Amino acid sequence: MDIREEKRFNLALQISNFRTALRGFEKLVERIAAQKRDERAGFFIQKEDAIDYDKFYATVQELFGPEVKNQDVKCFYRKLCNNPDASIDWCEIFGYFSSEEDSLTSQMDEENLVFLVSRKQQVVISGSRRRDVIKCIVKIPQLDLLITASQKGLITVFNSQMRVQTSTNITDTSWITGCDYLSQLKRIVATTERTIIVWDYKAQGSSQENYFVIKPMDHCLLCVCVVSLPDQLCRDDILLGDDGGFVNKFTVNSDDFGLKQAKSKKKLQNQVLDSKNFKSVKRKLHNDWVMKIRYISALNCFGSCSLDSVHSLVLESLKRLEDNLPVREFSMPRGANTFCYSIKANVIVTGGDDKVLRLWHPNISTKPVGKLVGHMFSITEIVTNEKDQHVISLSSAKVFRVWDIQTLSLLQVFHDSQGGPGDMQIYSMVFDSNHGMLVTGSSVMDMYPLTRMIQDAKQVPHTHEREINVMLYNKYFHQVLTICSESIIKVWELETGLQMYQILDPHGFNVELTSAAIDESGFLFATGAYNGTVKIWDFGSGQEMKVLPEGKDWKEEEHWLQRLIFLKAQEKHQYLILALERSGKIKMIQGKEDDIYLAVIWELPDVVPVLQNGNRIVHLRMSAKDRSMAIPFPDVELIAEKNFSQHVDNPAISIEMNCIDLLQVEGYNLIAAGTLNGVIILWNFVTSTVKEVYRPEDCFTVDPDLDPKRFRINDILFLFRNPECARRSSQDSICSSSQCDSSKGPQSSKGSKQSIHDSEVKGEQKDVTVGEQQPVDKKHLESTNLTDTQPPILVTAHEDGHLRLWTLEGRLLKDILPFTKHAAISLTSLYTDSCTRILLTGNVEGHVILCSISSFLDPPHDEKKFKQLLSWRAHSLEIIQIIYVEDKQVVLTASIDGSVRLWHALNGHYCGYFGQRRIFEISQTSDFILPCDVNEYPIEIKEESKFTEKKQKYEYPLVFDRQRWKKMSSMSLLFKRTPPKAFEVEHDFKFFKSLSSPKTRRHTLEGFMTENREAGIVFGSLPIYRVPSPTSLRFLPLIGSEARRDSSDGIPGKKKGSHVQHERVQRRRSLKRNLVPQINLTSSFFPAIPK
């Protein structure tokens, strides 16, 4: 008993401890959710109070123990950060999900290579009759609609969300055999065994009254298809196959249905039309039933297959139906049940009772070009996936086989396990390319999604285990280099996404890499760590070549390397690297061919204290140092006043340099730096000066109520267009001047984006750029004409979310707050292409902003020519680096969420992430999917149209203008008839013409008295205005009498002098004569105004 009680006590204690941990976990989740809401609202959160992922993971381990997996906690944290208001289940922290939709239930194994069978969805046709089956399924890609026709007469139209849009019941004694869509008449055609049904699915009212029945038919109809000819207007051709081997062509016009429907007054259940009234031709092409008929627009011909072993497949133009000339015939044993055509592969695939798939060239009917063997039962349906070049075949045993049409290999086999062996077979199958789904019809409708659609949408993008620190692109190798905070270097192939190699602990165990750069040739890359060490590696093999070891007297994180840039060396086999430390020090590191160690050979003097003292421009003095080799920057010293050292620095303000960029072309030798307190510093080694380009107000004062980081510059970039790119852009602008004018019209920015990228592809850069994150450090040009080049422009990304563009003199050209879904968000990274046509930036909320700057760079730098084209949410957390690959027109984004993702630059569509199992498909853009942690669609910024600007702007409300009405009134209307009663409006069109906008005063009224105590607290505090020239007051109708108006009823116009007085006296006399003395309310409504 004691042992049992002890076990029971321990169990109760464990349950109590777990409940306590759950309560603590719920409080932790509430704190993070509140923090994320405050961040989105723009509130500042103290760093010690903020909960990042490391604190969250440590707290979860304290609550639930070390058994909690890092990956599960990371997924939970991302979901919470992305949507703080979403419902959270504590089971997810342990990797368990309440529903199958929340996790990827099936592993991506070989069985689910193409279709994810475990994610099959099922739609039951509501209202269908007993033992009814779906006989035909048709997909309309241009409308994104799905049409199903059941055997017993139920036709249903589904929208893109697979919800029933409309349906009808065909009350016919015979069964439905097929259906299709009439693209010109916008109606649905279906065939029964003896009739043709044409249904207007868009008509209002009862849907059963809107279909026509065409009969009689000579034979039993088995299949139908519509000939899609875009040049035909209001006319469609219908091809029919019957049990006599005939192929019939019916021509239907809109007049055949519209006029008859308008003339018919009785509400009939259906309207019968005689088939003899339609133009039709037919020809016997087979000796057995016509099983399938299709029109192939790519070949401009139709195809029909039959169970006939001799005339199994006929492929001919529509003209052959009207004559008896020989046709193209394909023969196969036991005939063909079905066929399909692949446009890319240019082959026709047939299948029948002999269980063999045959591939035919359209022009070679003697012998198939390939055979696919594997089915054990008769083949009943074949469809193609054009994008992936797959053929999906279905047998009568409900077994699916997926084949690669290029390699003729079998990719996947699966079967429909629903029902018993004797259950209903699958009668129809179609592939929905819009949604990447295979749709089949039996007694229900089953939908099998492609594995990549589920994988890309549900699987968490995962490139590294920890956050990304560095991402670089090698344009010569077409490879991407990524480094995470655990100091793992990975190199990926851009086109496929496959990993080439990785390097573990490159600078030693537990040494974090913080920066990296690629040289201009692409053969080397350098890495820098938080302890100040630098290494140079061979990019192709990943072998270490040279190293800058850690100094003996270096303090921890004293030489934290924030940025590395390869410089062009004057001699071969010499390496020069410009490094920025987190302390703000800029230095140059040299590597020689015969020495394995790197050395620091040059440092820039600290100019921030001198500029802080009030000097805007500081001159540099060249020092006379003898060097064995030439370096890109000379040795300089500051020429400054002696009293600058007396300035006392405020330790609460960070003044260190946060980002740098350099520009080395003929005529320019510049280094630009942005500091933590918002100061832009420009080193000019041509003029030997260093100056302060911009300094924000109050950047050296401390305000405890404001964020101390509000002035911080997170990235800086030179925008410079070399003469070759300038000539290209001028030629493009001359050639497309008409397009430029039209692009400002009623078009979306998508068109302008396309033209921008097209011109980039046409003018592919030939200048060699420094292979570093920002491709702006151009190669020294051999011969350039400086008169053609425009001076460079600086662009800065700020902590307050603004993007600012400056001249080198410090003049602000453009200050833009990029448009995203939320408020101002801190910008983190900048990037431009080689010819500075576009500008990309990323922010801390994971948004990517794409701007067009091609025409803005040309003087006089018109603000309106700086256009934001697109923005999309790429990550749920902060973007560290963003890169644009010009030749592929894709954007690479790296984030602290540990993933590097690939996007189409033209539309912001998601391609995938590095580390996924599926190979990239950069050229394909048809499927639109989003990562699991992003739920926002791309936002396209459209330009304002000139047409809409010219539209007349109406002002509401319109009021009745009596003066305008009197001018339009004729004399007969003024003096004829007895005057109408009071408040009676004459129903005349001139009343509406008399409406006008209300007259508003252009001058303000002057108040002369406030705070009237007698009127009370509320009304006494309202200001009282004096009207300078009040108009005459209208007499209100007197109570108890009917006001009779004179023929000149109305308010008198503005007249001068005695005319107004005379008219007033005359009006008062007439009122006294005609009206009985009653109570006058005029004084009550209009008190006298003291003069």
pLDDT in tens, 958-1000: 777 777 777 765 554 555 445 555 545 455 566 777 777 776 5
Residues contacting residue 430 through CB under 8 Å, at least 6 positions apart: 137, 138, 139, 383, 438, 439
* Whole-number pLDDT of residue 2: 66
pLDDT band at residue 490, thresholds of 50, 70 and 90? very high
Nearest residue to 690 (alpha-carbon basis) of 652, 640, 726: 640
* Whole-number pLDDT of residue 205: 58
Burial-class residue 799 by CB neighbours within 10 Å (0-12, 13-18, 19+).
Answer: buried
Between residues 558 and 285, which one has the greater pLDDT?
285
Whether the pLDDT of residue 746 is over 70: the answer is: no
CA-CA distance, 1032 to 1067, in Å (whole number)? 12
Q: What is the mean pLDDT of residues 630-657?
A: 64
pLDDT band at residue 759, thresholds of 50, 70 and 90? very low
* pLDDT, tens only, 189-219: 999 988 999 988 887 655 455 788 888 888 8
Whether the pLDDT of residue 405 is over 70: the answer is: yes
- Weakest mean pLDDT among 76-85, 135-144, 948-957: 948-957
Q: What is the mean pLDDT of residues 566-572?
A: 82
Q: Which residues pair with 302 in a beta bridge?
A: 295, 316
Q: How many CA atoms lie less than 13 Å away from 869 in the CB half-sphere?
A: 27
Q: What is the mean pLDDT of residues 919-945?
A: 75
* pLDDT, tens only, 325-353: 999 999 999 999 999 999 999 999 999 99
The fraction of the chain above a pLDDT of 90, given in percent, is 30
Which range, 160-174, 324-338, 641-655, is most confident?
324-338
pLDDT band at residue 734, thresholds of 50, 70 and 90? very low
Q: What is the mean pLDDT of residues 733-759?
A: 38
* Whole-number pLDDT of residue 20: 85
Q: How many CA atoms lie less than 13 Å away from 539 in the CB half-sphere?
A: 25
3-state secondary structure of 1083: helix
Q: From residue 114, how far is each of 351, 374, 412, 438, 930 by CA, in Å?
A: 21, 18, 7, 11, 19
Whether the pLDDT of residue 1077 is over 50: the answer is: no
Between residues 1017 and 64, which one has the greater pLDDT?
64
CA-CA distance, 58 to 569, in Å (whole number)? 47
CA-CA distance, 92 to 853, in Å (whole number)? 45
- Weakest mean pLDDT among 281-290, 918-927, 1064-1073: 1064-1073
Between residues 319 and 422, which one has the greater pLDDT?
319
* pLDDT, tens only, 660-710: 999 988 888 899 999 988 899 999 988 888 888 888 887 767 667 676 678
3-state secondary structure of 705: coil
Angle at the Cα of 501 (from 497 to 506), degrees rounded to 5?
Answer: 130
* Whole-number pLDDT of residue 698: 72
Angle at the Cα of 436 (from 434 to 442), degrees rounded to 5?
Answer: 100
In this structure, the chain runs to a length of 1091
Q: What is the mean pLDDT of residues 215-227?
A: 90
Q: What is the mean pLDDT of residues 234-257?
A: 88
Tokens of 50: 């903020």
Pairing mode, strands 370-373 and 379-385: unpaired
Between residues 926 and 11, which one has the greater pLDDT?
11
Q: Which DSSP category does 937 fall into?
A: -
3-state secondary structure of 756: helix
* Whole-number pLDDT of residue 258: 63
Instruction: Name the phi and psi angles at 208, rounded to 5.
Output: -75, -15
Whether the pLDDT of residue 1003 is over 80: the answer is: no
Between residues 791 and 983, which one has the greater pLDDT?
791
Whether the pLDDT of residue 402 is over 90: the answer is: yes
Decide: 774 and 717 in contact? Cβ < 8 Å.
Answer: yes
* Whole-number pLDDT of residue 646: 42
Q: Which residues pair with 246 in a beta bridge?
A: 284
Decide: 991 and 959 in contact? Cβ < 8 Å.
Answer: no
Question: Chain-wide mean pLDDT for the chain?
Answer: 77
CA-CA distance, 40 to 823, in Å (whole number)? 7
Q: What is the mean pLDDT of residues 375-385?
A: 94
* pLDDT, tens only, 811-830: 899 998 888 877 688 999 99
Whether the pLDDT of residue 946 is over 50: the answer is: no
* pLDDT, tens only, 109-140: 444 578 888 788 888 876 556 678 899 999 99
Between residues 1009 and 719, which one has the greater pLDDT?
719
Q: Residue for token digits 């010293």?
A: 637
What angle, 0 to 180 degrees and rounded to 10, lies between the N-to-C axes of helices 70-82 and 53-64? 120
Q: What is the mean pLDDT of residues 252-271?
A: 59
Whether the pLDDT of residue 452 is over 80: the answer is: no
CA-CA distance, 770 to 760, in Å (whole number)? 19
pLDDT band at residue 890, thresholds of 50, 70 and 90? very high
Residues contacting residue 344 through CB under 8 Å, at least 6 positions apart: 386, 389
Between residues 190 and 558, which one has the greater pLDDT?
190
Burial-class residue 688 by CB neighbours within 10 Å (0-12, 13-18, 19+).
Answer: middle
Q: What is the mean pLDDT of residues 451-477?
A: 82
Report the amino acid identity of residue 324. Answer: N
Decide: 244 and 284 in contact? Cβ < 8 Å.
Answer: yes
* Whole-number pLDDT of residue 948: 42
